[in-house]
A = this chain, B = another copy of it.
Amino acid sequence: MPDSAFDRRPAPSEGDIDDILVWTVIRVGRRVERMVTDRLAGHGLTPVQFGVLAYLGARPGMNQSELARALQIRPQSARDAVTAMIDRGLLHRTGPEGRGRRSGMQLTDAGHALLGLAWPVVAGIDAQAVGLAPGDDVTLNRLLHTVLDAPAQPSRPAPTAG
């Protein structure tokens, strides 16, 4: 810990913190995810499980890895959710099981029915519910999708031997 220029920097103020976009995104993400979690709890669904339901309803045949990329989670986490939902009878595999084998999935009738119930719950959290003026939600959604469409940064672990 050499007293470089960093140590001589003044302590950041709260306003500075608010200027960091990624930090704001994380905070809003936590708040919104908790809103969704609370509203889906009555249906026994986590936000991730709702995502599995929604994507599989829109595009039957997706496999675990595709779901993971769509949901912004790891393939291992997708497996956790999928396994629980298969055990619950919400979906079933259309392909062979086993390591290495790509296994598409489809919703069961129960899965479609639950999606019909859960969809309005999540879709009903409109602009007003999150404190936005009408119209701003569209702008916000568009900007956020720009982020999702951007290629994932490889996180650049260390600038040691760049």
Contacts and interface: CB of A to CB of B under 8 A. Distances in A.
A33 interface: yes
A30 B29 contact: yes
Interface residues of A, number: 80
Contacts of A133: 146
A137 B21 contact: yes
Interface string A1-28: 1000011010111101111111111111
A131 interface: yes
- Best-buried of A17, A126, A151 by chain B (most CB within 10 Å): A17
A143 B143 contact: yes
Given A22-B130, A57-B12, A144-B140, A28 B29 contact: yes
